Structure 1
Amino acid sequence: MTDPALDAETLRERALTTLTTARARTTLLTSCVDEPDLTAQHSPLMSPLVWDLAHIGNQEEQWLLRAVAGRDAMRPEIDGLYDAFEHPRSERPSLPLLAPAEARAYASEVRGRVLDLLEGTAFHGTRLTEAGFAFGMIAQHEQQHDETMLITHQLRIGPQALTAPDPDPAPPFTGPSEVLVPGGPFTMGTSTEPWALDNERPAHRREVAPYWIDTTPVTNGAYRAFIDDGGYDDERWWTPDGWAHIRRHGIHAPLFWHRDGGQWLRRRFGVTEVVPPDEPVLHVSWFEADAYARWAGRRLPTEAEWEKAARHDPVSGRSTRYPWGDADPAPRHANLGQRHLRPAPAGSYPEGESPLGVRQLIGDVWEWTASDFLPYPGFQVFPYKEYSEVFFGPEYKVLRGGSFAVDEVACRGTFRNWDYPIRRQIFSGFRTARAAEGA
């Protein structure tokens, strides 16, 4: 039998590591620009960076100090200011937000009290404390906001504020362009991952017909062929809503792209560069991904198809935590955690491929799927309905796999993301699929 004390110490160390990692990233994202850039709204789609900073601290206080520890509110008067559902992003600059120094001090004080709490926490007794779930939930929440803040940095107009080394060069991918995924049942979702969120639960059996799926995400070079063939000017490839949207807004290429003579350039974190043909395409909406797939004679994979390609081991018949197995992600597996500020070339990370030979399913770019964001059979809200339940419905499309901006704590084979089909500022790409003949 495993020593319970050792188990508790392991959980404590994991919680401490993930919270510390998230806070280091938050600090980087909010200290690399001057105060005017922290308080400005760089896009009506995004909050001022200083709002995210105090919101991170407020959520940590509410869930760890109040809900877990039962303590009184430190600053109850600011709860409403940092309630994401009470104030749309476009309105947040007009609120009496904490100034940057005050927001930093508040988040720091909350974190100090949380670390004291962590020292004495027993990881059992309630659903919130079981296996350190509440600490994991807060670490994931902070990392999700870190990705949101990185999106804000990409939207920000001005000198480069962030730097990171590029991914290692990779030889041109010469493997098969697609992989056959056999039909049959597999286990989707999870009932055992201790820090999985409610929309990932419960584990359940899904039957999937055989299909082919791209070995790698669709690249910039492949997407350019769609543009050059007049894809944005041909209504045949677009849903009615998608066609109306691109015509209304004059969209003719991925966000941040522009043509200069005979070449395409893009803006990436304050730097203008030639669009690299071998990278997965980035900053495309669901409408654009769907149109490309139709033009290519293919389709977007369903969410179940994506997860089967990522988790199903045909030899054992079981579903693994990640494409490469059950081990936590390492740099050799995937491009995660803002280690780089761009996707790696298509075909990178052979050690991260799935048993079926599909690559880059985790990291690099969020991948649009054909599916609406809906609950799994047996879904139960936990710990609050505003995390998942209020978003269920056909208005949102599911994205899978994470991007280079996602930390491993907020990314696994069962993790589900969702957004409106018009969204392009997110780090989104896609791969395509097709039915197997005779299926």
Structure 2
Amino acid sequence: MTTTLRERIADELLRARSRTTALAEAVDEADLVKQHSPIMSPLVWDFAHVGNQEELWLVRDVGGREPVRRDIDELYDAFQNPRHERPQLPLLNPTEARGYLRTVREKVLDLLERVPLAGRRLVDEGFAFGMIVQHEQQHDETMLATHQLRVGEPVLTAPPPPPAAVEVAGEVVVPGGRFTMGTSTEPWALDNERPAHQVELAPFAIDAAPVSNGQYAQFIADGGYDDPRWWSESGWAHRQRAGLVAPMHWVPDGDGWAYTRFGVTSPVAPDEPVVHVCFHEAQAYARWAGRRLPTEAEWEKAARFDPATGRSRRYPWGDVDPTPAHANLGQRHLRPAPVGAYPAGASPLGVHQLIGDVWEWVDTDFTGYPGFSPFPYREYSEVFFGSDYKVLRGGSFGTDPAACRGTFRNWDYPIRRQVFSGFRCARTLDPAERAALG
């Protein structure tokens, strides 16, 4: 039976809310209202915020209906209230927040049966509903990151990811030439992914897999955190100021390292992609290894370009939506999978795990593409454009498939490590290598 657009939207709304509820209900009310880190909101703020955004865009704008709680709009405006100030706000308590979300969702499901899904850009192909699904899933990943920062007994469980199925090592050469970056056709793509445009790149080499814990540990053992040669000026200043000595959540363990993950401490797995490193750490490792970070355009070409057809795919493996065989997404597991665990998700050129496992830092500032137009509001992307933010690509084990595709762009300050962030290296080919490619 073919699923209609309305049925798909309803399913995606339900799936997102089930995850939000599970992340909130995993802790008691004291943990819900507590701020576990000054750079994160209390979980109860994220919980009510997703409902407020749903009310603003779907109940009021798309549906044209009366407000449910206009009086709380300012409390859940992320631009008016920095994260460190949110615990002091008169927020909805957990019981009130649950009731608010139920009321908003009832109204949304009612209007979903009635509102036209065409006729204006906001509703064409269900865009506004897709935007809200992605917004909630993004906050779910933020809530998952908050769970990683909380101190206490473990409250989240999930089965381990699959083991490595193939050996993946070394680098892959990506041919030069033009390719299509971004999209003008993906119905739920957000404004910063648009429009599709042609980009010309020289040939380059990129790691076949993300940098692993074992590889990163060699950088630490070689004194990488103590040698300013590998760090940019701003990166070295941050390393000294923040006292960085290893990825976030790593602790010394005999001759090696252990990692505390969602309340459980265990030895660092050498074959897993390194996670919880900032842009500066990723850049320093790459320089130590005699390489560099890829640009955003290089990353996307490695992820989407099909040399057999010359077209850009939706995902490395093709145009079909991700399945559990393709990538580690959706919080099915609470850790990155070992390198080589998803051969079905590799690109035609043989680049693995570009989607899922860890967000990958790229050496590109967050800006709009040529022809960028903000939609449906400047505050989603445009206000963040500039040199303050670096781009991350590909999604993590905590990213839902609804909020991850080959064109999806994430961004954060280059000092941030609370996100599930890793990286892979790239290399500019020397003239002899380029000549050999013809």
Q: Which residue of the partner structure matches residue 30 of structure 1? A: 24
Q: Which residue of the partner structure matches residue 411 of structure 2? A: 418
1:160 maps to which of 154, 157, 164: 154
Letter in 2 for 1:269: F
C-alpha separation in 2, matches of 1:249 and 1:206: 37
Q: Which residue of the partner structure matches residue 294 of structure 2? A: 301
C-alpha separation in 2, matches of 1:121 and 1:336: 31
C-alpha separation in 1, matches of 2:188 and 2:14: 17
2:88 maps to which of 88, 94, 98: 94
Shift of 1:174: 3.0
Shift of 1:342: 0.2
Which one is further off, 67-76 or 146-155?
Answer: 67-76
Shift of 1:413: 0.1
Q: Which residue of the partner structure matches residue 393 of structure 2? A: 400
Contact 2:357 2:395 in 1 (8 A): yes
Q: How does 1:264-275 map to 2 (within 5 A)?
A: 264-275=257-268
Residue 336 (structure 1) aligned with residue 367 (structure 2):
no
Shift of 1:110: 0.4
1:182 maps to which of 175, 198, 208: 175
Letter in 2 for 1:56: V
Q: Which residue of the partner structure matches residue 383 of structure 1? A: 376
SS of match in other structure, 1:14: helix
SS of match in other structure, 2:379: coil
Shift of 1:119: 1.2
Residue 325 (structure 1) aligned with residue 322 (structure 2):
no
Shift of 1:176: 4.3
Shift of 1:261: 2.1
Q: How does 1:194-213 map to 2 (within 5 A)?
A: 194-213=187-206
- Normalised by the length of structure 1, the TM-score is 0.97
Shift of 1:260: 2.3
C-alpha separation in 2, matches of 1:242 and 1:209: 28
Instruction: Give CA deviations for 1:165-195 in whole Å, capped at 9, x if unaligned.
Output: 0011225x53441100000000000000000
Q: Which residue of the partner structure matches residue 44 of structure 1? A: 38
Instruction: Give CA deviations for 1:335-390 in whole Å, capped at 9, x if unaligned.
Output: 00000000000111100001111000000000000000010000001000000000
Letter in 2 for 1:356: L
Q: Which residue of the partner structure matches residue 49 of structure 2? A: 55
Q: Which residue of the partner structure matches residue 3 of structure 1? A: none
SS of match in other structure, 2:392: strand
Shift of 1:121: 2.4
C-alpha separation in 2, matches of 1:264 and 1:381: 45
Contact 2:253 2:267 in 1 (8 A): no
Moved over 6 A (4+): none
C-alpha separation in 1, matches of 2:287 and 2:187: 39
The number of equivalent residue pairs is: 432
C-alpha separation in 1, matches of 2:49 and 2:87: 14
Q: Which residue of the partner structure matches residue 373 of structure 1? A: 366
Q: Which residue of the partner structure matches residue 83 of structure 1? A: 77
SS of match in other structure, 2:32: helix
Residue 117 (structure 1) aligned with residue 111 (structure 2):
yes
Contact 2:366 2:386 in 1 (8 A): yes
Letter in 1 for 2:87: P
Shift of 1:120: 1.6
User: Taking every aligned residue pair, what percent have the same amino acid on both sides?
Assistant: 68
Q: Which residue of the partner structure matches residue 357 of structure 2? A: 364
SS of match in other structure, 1:120: coil
SS of match in other structure, 2:380: coil
Unmatched 5+ stretches in structure 1: 1-5
Q: Root-mean-square deviation (CA), in Å? A: 1.0
Q: Which residue of the partner structure matches residue 68 of structure 2? A: 74
C-alpha separation in 2, matches of 1:306 and 1:169: 25
SS of match in other structure, 1:266: strand
C-alpha separation in 1, matches of 2:103 and 2:316: 39
- Normalised by the length of structure 2, the TM-score is 0.97
C-alpha separation in 1, matches of 2:168 and 2:153: 39
SS of match in other structure, 2:180: strand
In structure 2, relative to structure 1, the CA distance for the partners of 1:273 and 1:128 (3 Å cut) is: same
C-alpha separation in 1, matches of 2:115 and 2:341: 41
C-alpha separation in 1, matches of 2:4 and 2:203: 41
Contact 2:57 2:128 in 1 (8 A): yes
Which one is further off, 65-74 or 212-221?
Answer: 65-74
Shift of 1:437: 2.2
Unmatched 5+ stretches in structure 2: none
Residue 106 (structure 1) aligned with residue 100 (structure 2):
yes
Letter in 2 for 1:259: P
In structure 2, relative to structure 1, the CA distance for the partners of 1:399 and 1:134 (3 Å cut) is: same
1:20 maps to which of 14, 39, 43: 14
Letter in 1 for 2:128: A
SS of match in other structure, 1:322: coil
